[in-house]
Each structure stands twice: as structure tokens, then as C-alpha cells.
Structure 1
Amino acid sequence: MAPDSAALLGLLAVLTVLAPVLTAVVWDRGGGWRRTARRATTAGFCLLTLASTVLTAANRQAEMYPSWSDLLGATAGTSAVPADPRSGQDPSPGRFTTIGVAGTASGVSLPVLAYLPAAYDAAPGARFPVIEALDGFPGSPATWVRGLGVAGYLDSEISAGRMAPTVVLFPPQTTDPALDTECTNLAGGPRMETYLTVDVPAAARARLRVRADRAGWGLIGYSAGGYCATNLLLRHPDRYLAGASLSGYADPGIRVGDGSEHTTNDDRWRLRHLPLPAVALYLASARTDVHATRDTAALAALAHAPISLTTAFLPVGGHNMQTWRALEPTAFDWLSSWLAAPSATGPGGGRAGRTAS
């Protein structure tokens, strides 16, 4: 049983119910130090089972520790491909693979999960657009696969023609599941911004048939990953054409260590004080998600030409998987409408995406 499995959660829930029953049965038995020891042991067991159940339920929602190796202290990245929840009956299903990333620029070397559309194998001479998909915190790349069912959505949208065949990368955003980086270069910590914007694209271009030009690269993320998608797009318009934020924020909400959380890593500050890049930005949230909607409205008020802005709101919904599942297909379709199409003419050839104006 994985640490985020339903079976483990069910077992712990049963033990949580049985623990007080056991405590009541043995509470007044015996005397002296033995009774004291039994009381302390059973009371401790009640607390342990309750805490374990709550933490497992939270982990199942966030998938912070999807495997025992993650929980016991292994690195955040994993070369294992998460179990694909699709039934196998989806039209033209894509497949998952893993690519190694040598942290030449960042010093961070973590493998990256990659979705390859069916056309990747059917058209061996083509080069495909790329989307980097960024998860929330706590979370992991596996959350996209198991929590958000991304493979089924991608298969469906591509098969229906609403989305061009696209390679989607799911890079880790931290070297430690307990460390929130918000995709920044932490002072004295991991350089995740450099990893995501330099090392990951370099590895993808070297190991996969993907477009090398900016017109073929986009970003998407939910929650903290939504902030990452917006922030990295604005900071690196030479590398990415478009980005989509689902329930994202305007600032990292952490201490980066160089003060940039109040300036260049605060997207409101950036939009007010720095030249605006020619990029396409998609901001979406549920209106009842107060924090995300407030920041989405603030960014939307500041973003103007040459930024091409699109906003989308669900009338109700929380900061949760159900909301992101509802927003996910349209966001991927929107990104695909901006990115350059698959090309058979070389690394950067073929039809260019629309200009962001």
C-alpha cells in the first residue's frame, strides 16, 4: 500500500475507530504501574491512529509523498512513471516516459516525467510543441497523473482536434518534498528557476523530438504551480510564448532570500515597474476561491498590450482538485491555440503560433 492509497487510509480509519474502544476496555483493568502503563499506551495509540489518519488523508489529497521512498527521505524526483489511471480505451492514447536532466546550469539533477502524444510515435520525423506543467505545494508531478487525470484529458483534447499533438513535461519543483521553492532560485537553496527554464528545456531538446523555438514552448500550473507558470513566463519571455495559471497567485508567499519576493518575483510589482513582454497569459480560478480570485483580478488589471490576456472564472468552486479538473481541458486547448504546431521541417520550422499582441 502506497502512503497515499485508499487502502491505507481505510485501514487507518478503522484503527482510529477501534482505538477508543480498546482504551475503554482496558482502562480500569489491573492496578499499580501496569494499569498506568496500559492507560498511557492505549491513549497514545488513540492519538497516533487519529494523527496518522488525518495526515494520510491530507497526503492523499495533495500527493506530497506518493511513495514510501519519498516519505522516508528520498529525493523529490523519481524515475518511476506513476500508474496511469486511464482505462486503456481512450482514443489514440499517448504514453509516459522519463528523461534524465543533468543540472548543468542549476546544479539540480532530477528526472522529468514526460507525456508523448500518439502522434509522437506515428510521425517519427516531426518535432512537437512543449508545455511544462507545474504542480502545487504540497504536491508532485504524480499529482497531474493521478489526481488530475491529465493523460485522459490530453488524449481526449488531442483526439478531438481541440489541441495539437503536444509533448507535456512534468518536472519536479523542489529537491525536498517539504521545501517550497515556488520555482525560484532560493538564496542558499536549490536553483529551481534555472533548472526549470534552462536545464529541463535543454534535456528535452536533446532527448526528445521537440521544437526548439520560443513559439513552441508554454507553461501551465495550478495553485503554487499557477504562480510559477505566470512568473516564469513574465521572467523568461525569450523562452516561452504562453502560460496558463489555474488558481494561481501574484507572489510566491515564501522568503526567497534576496528580497525578490517583494520585487521581481512579485508579478504585480513586475507588471507595474518593468517593460511588459509580448506573451499570451491565461488566468483562471473559481470566483469563490477568494485568494486566487483576488490575485487573478489584480494581475488582470495590470496586464495590457503587448501582453495578450485571457481570463476565465468558474462561478463556484474551491482551491481543490475538482476545480482544477474543470479548468484543465480548456486551459490546455488555449495554450495549444497559441503554440506553434508540430513541424516536420526541423527544430523550429513549421507554422508559427499567433503573435501575442
Structure 2
Amino acid sequence: MGLTDTPVLVLAIALAVVLFTATIWCWPRLARRSAPAVLGRVGMLLATQVAVFATVGLLANNSFLFYGSWADLLGRKQEMGVVTDHAAGTPAAKNIVRVGSQRPDVPGGAVLTRGGRIDKVVIAGRRTGIETPAYVYLPPEYFQPAYAHRKFPAAVVLTGYPGTAENLIEGLRYPRLAHDRVRAGRAQPMILVMLRPTVAPPRDTECVDIPDGPQTETFFADDVPHAVSAGYRVGRHARNWGIIGNSTGGYCALKIGMHHPDRYAASAGLSAYYKAAEDPTTGDLFHGDEAARRRANLLWTLDHRPQPAGSFLVSTSRQGESNYADTMRFVAKVKQPARVSSIVLKSGGHNFNTWRREIPAALEWLSSRLSES
């Protein structure tokens, strides 16, 4: 059984209840002062507490999807098998290979022309050599005859660190929310390319081109759009591409959009921060290069570099988010030709519940700023 499977959670809850009941029932018999009685009390309390903590941990993980599998939880490296599918209608470009597919959790998801499809792929960077798994959501219109010759706009969707790409499907529900926005007439059909910014796990590269290390910024700015455009019906111009993310993914989205307006016309950072983190998870990102460190500071860039010709969306909350002040500074610093929009909640923490309240409006915003080819 998988870590996030319902039977695992039910089993943990049942075990906690049984142990709690057994502790209450057996306590009078263990009330003596003998060594066996004392060890029995300690054992019963310890077992009950472990079961309760495990249940709470599973509940939290099922809500926020910190870990998608037992291997993920235990820190085991998970290699993906790569199988080239030569069937009609599958990506044939060598920089992107489909290794599986699944139905989106949407009404009519069993029928391609009503629910679309989610492809599990491996993207191989032509410039950087980085290989990473991703999910590509194809809306139902992609399979409808009326759209057979149309190239769709696309958005790269990034998790936070150290999240998994599955979080974007199961926890933040991007395909479902995108489908709902189109059905409601609030957005156009878009292809979503969902992955995590951690392309060299477990290291957090902060989407930086690290000297003698992973060229993460180049991977997202150049390799990803090139690979997806070659494998799917997606336009190759900046006006066809957007990028969105939460937390670390939000910082990456804003930075890549700011540095590469020739690749991405619109960038959205949900609960983003505005300069690269530097801590034990990142290692030495800049190797003493102060110019590179300043470039990774978005507020500094807005003050000291020409404003990019792109659109930016930022989100925060007045109560619960630590980025409120920096977000307001970011908004104040954006000048023409750049454009900025914001989502400011009254309250909301740095969590999935907050982001699920912001994603529908963010998808509508992205849709309004992207165009078909």
C-alpha cells in the first residue's frame, strides 16, 4: 500500500484507537509497582503515542502531500524508467519522452475529448543536460477535431522545495482547476507542464545557474519550452508561454520571467520570496560572485536593471504570510514596460489551503495574458 493510500490512513487510525482502548482497559492490571508492571505501562503509553503521532503525520501528509511515496519519505533515490512510445499522437522529440499517462480527476475524465489527459514524461535539457520527470496536462480541446491544427498556450507550473510534482495534481489540483475555469468560460484551454524546481535532488538550486553545477535557470528558461514545443502542439513565442509556482517555485517563476521576457510573457509567484535562499540545502550557489547574487535578488534587479517587458502576478496575505512587506515593495518597484498584478488575502498561511484559494484567479490571469500561435 502506498504512503498516501486511504487504507494506510484507516489502518493507522484503527491501530491508534485499539491501542488507546487497550491502554485504558489494561491500566488497572498494570498499576502495581513491580518492574513488569512499570515496563508494561511504559510500553502501552509509548505504543499509543507512536500510533497517534503516525496518524497525525499521515493526515498532515495526505492534506499537504509533503511526501508522495514511502521511498520519498525515506529519502531513497527514485529512478524513472524511460520507454519511448512510438504510437500515433505521442511526443517523438528526443528531449521529451512519455513514460505513462493517467486520467485527470475531472468530469468525463475517462474520455479524452471531455477530460483530456495527463502525460508522465521525462524532459532532457538539450543545453544543460539536466533530466527530470514532469507531468503534462493536455486539456480536452487538445483532442477535439475542431482544435486539431491549433497550437495551445502553455504554462510551466512549479512546486515549492522539496515538494513533488504529484503535489500539483493531487494537492493543488491544477488540472481540475484549469478544467473548471475553461468550463466556466473564465479561461482558455492551456497546456500545463508540472514539475518541481528541484532538478538535482536533494539540493535546492533556487533556479540558479550554479558555476560548475546544475544550470537550473537555463533549463527552465530554454530547455523546457524547447522540449515541450517540440513534443506537443505548443507555440514557441514568449506570448505562448507563462510560468507559475508557489513558495520556492514562485520565486523561480518570477525570476525566470524577469530575466527571460523573450521566453515567458507572464509570470506568477504565489507566496513567493524575492531573493535566493542560501542555507545548508542550497550549498554555495554563487561561488563568491556578488554580481550573480545581486542578479538573483528581484528587488535589486528592479532597481538597477531595465524593466522587463512582461507581466507579473504576486500573492500574499496581510496576516499569516511573511512576504507581505516584500511583496508590496515588489509591486511598488515595477514600472513600464513591465506590468504587475497582485492577490492579497486578508489572512492565509504558507500552505496548500491558501494556494488553492489563489490558483483559480491566477489561472484566469495567466490565460488573459497568453495567446495561441
TM bracket (short chain):
0.7 to 0.9
Distance in 2 (alpha carbons) for counterparts of 1:150 and 1:6:
22
Change (3 A) 1:48 1:262: farther
| 1:171-215 alpha-carbon deviations (Å, 9 max, x no partner) | 232246654333334556543323222222221012111101111
Give the C-alpha shift of residue 23 in structure 1: 6.1
Cα RMSD (Å): 3.1
Aligned to 2:58: 56
Distance in 1 (alpha carbons) for counterparts of 2:191 and 2:176:
14
Aligned-partner SS, 2:323: helix
Indicate conservation of the 8 Å contact 1:82/1:142, yes or no. Answer: no
Indicate conservation of the 8 Å contact 2:101/2:119, yes or no. Answer: yes
Aligned to 2:361: 330
Distance in 1 (alpha carbons) for counterparts of 2:14 and 2:210:
42
Question: For structure 2, which runs of at least 5 residues remain unmatched after alignment?
Answer: 82-98
Aligned-partner SS, 2:156: strand
Distance in 2 (alpha carbons) for counterparts of 1:267 and 1:330:
23
Aligned to 1:85: 105
Q: Structure 1: which amino acid aligns with 2:344?
A: F
Aligned to 1:278: 309
Q: Does 1:74 align with 2:74?
A: no
Aligned to 2:133: 111
Distance in 2 (alpha carbons) for counterparts of 1:315 and 1:30:
56
Indicate conservation of the 8 Å contact 1:77/1:110, yes or no. Answer: no
Indicate conservation of the 8 Å contact 2:316/2:344, yes or no. Answer: yes
Aligned to 1:352: none
Structure having greater relative contact order (Cα 8 Å, sep ≥ 6): 1
Could you tell me the TM-score, scaled by structure 1's length?
0.82
Change (3 A) 1:248 1:46: same
Distance in 1 (alpha carbons) for counterparts of 2:106 and 2:212:
41
Which is richer in strand?
2
Q: Structure 2: which amino acid aligns with 1:135?
A: T
Aligned to 1:291: 322
Q: Does 1:137 align with 2:161?
A: yes
Match of 2:217 among 168, 183, 193: 193
Indicate conservation of the 8 Å contact 1:76/1:174, yes or no. Answer: no
Could you tell me the TM-score, scaled by structure 2's length?
0.79
Indicate conservation of the 8 Å contact 1:83/1:146, yes or no. Answer: no
Aligned-partner SS, 1:210: coil
Change (3 A) 1:159 1:226: same
Change (3 A) 1:153 1:20: closer
Distance in 1 (alpha carbons) for counterparts of 2:256 and 2:103:
29
Indicate conservation of the 8 Å contact 1:99/1:207, yes or no. Answer: no
| 1:216-272 alpha-carbon deviations (Å, 9 max, x no partner) | 111111222211111111122221111112221112333452156852112112112
**Matched length:** 341
